[in-house]
Amino acid sequence: MLQEQGPTIWDRLLRVPRWVIYLIIAAAVIFPFLHPLRFPVEVSQRTRQLYDYIDKLPPGSVVCLAFDYGPSTMAELQPMAVAVTRHCFRNNLAVAGVALDPWGAALCDAAFATANSDGKKKEHVDFVNLGYKTGYSAVIQGMGLNIHEVYKLDNRKTPVGDIPLMKNVRTYQDLAIVIDLASSSTPQAWIAFAGARFGATVSAGVTAVMALDMYPYLQSGQLVGMLGGLKGAAEYEKLINQPDQGALGMDSQNLAHGAIVLLVLLANLGYVVTRRQARRRQER
């Protein structure tokens, strides 16, 4: 009588507790933040197009950043805001922030503070946070007529007319570009109202799941470049040669995806091997 063999390594592999799998994924997510891996990032044409446009603007131009997202999507969009602001500050461009999301004004302050960590840029001279306004279609169209009528006070309650940066900024014609950082349908509103009606130059940074919807606007020329998801942020950080949260997030994402693929492959391999071993035992 044949003695039954104990469980093989493949049998044990198929019975790994769930908490072990969760621990492996958690380690893969956390490790890059403790020790950055700097996986290579290939810059897409849509990201380079936005970078090149901003890079060619003459010093003193005003870039408008619209913070149309909240905390739930800031992991993807906040690194974009910081990277674009850093690029503007490096090229002596002024940045005016607006918000059509209730959380946007606070995220705008945070992005400006991070980008200006050395304190070289002055508020109201090099950057301004105009704050949050509700009713985005009315706000976008109102800015095309008179920004000072829409935003009478900035986020610090300073009269916009008294802000040096805003003295000569009245309509979209005084803005070099409007970049909408969004987690909803606001880019389409900026394109339709600011771009199509008032002739503003518009670009967008969106979450990864929204990026596909933006391609028709890229192809039609209604968007000047686009940043898509965390990868778009990492690409822009590479272009300005200042990797930060976007690059770290991509390291974490890549390592976690690699761990998941490896676990799936091992599980399938274990299943095939154990099935073959079971057949052989039956044949004996």
pLDDT classification of 6: cutoffs 50, 70, 90: low
User: How many of the other CB atoms lie within 10 Å of CB of 280?
Assistant: 9
pLDDT of residue 275: 82
> Could you tell me which CATH number the domain at 45-242 has?
3.40.50
Average pLDDT over residues 265-281: 82
pLDDT of residue 240: 96
144-163 in b/e burial notation, b at 16+ Cβ within 10 A?
beebbebbeebbeeeebeeb
Map tokens 């918000």 to a residue.
Answer: 99
Statement: residue 4 has pLDDT above 70: no
Q: Identify any residues that bridge with 227 across adjacent strands, giving them in sequence order.
A: 205
DSSP 170-223: -SGGG-SEEEEEESSSHHHHIIIIIIIIT---EEEEE-HHHHHHHHHHHHHTSS
Q: Which residue did the predictor score with more confidence, 28 or 84?
A: 84
Strand, coil or helix: what is 255? helix
User: How many of the other CB atoms lie within 10 Å of CB of 188?
Assistant: 17
- Integer angstrom CA distances of residue 87 from 90, 92, 281: 5, 9, 66
User: How many of the other CB atoms lie within 10 Å of CB of 140?
Assistant: 28
pLDDT of residue 121: 97
Token pair recorded at residue 220: 């039609």
Percent of the chain clearing pLDDT 90 (strictly above): 74
What is the residue extent of each domain of the chain? 9-37+251-283, 45-242
Residues 185-241 pLDDT 10s: 899 999 999 999 999 999 999 999 999 999 999 999 999 999 999 999 999 999 999
pLDDT classification of 34: cutoffs 50, 70, 90: confident
Residues 64-90 pLDDT 10s: 999 999 999 999 999 999 999 999 999
pLDDT of residue 230: 94
Residues 130-147 pLDDT 10s: 999 998 899 999 999 999
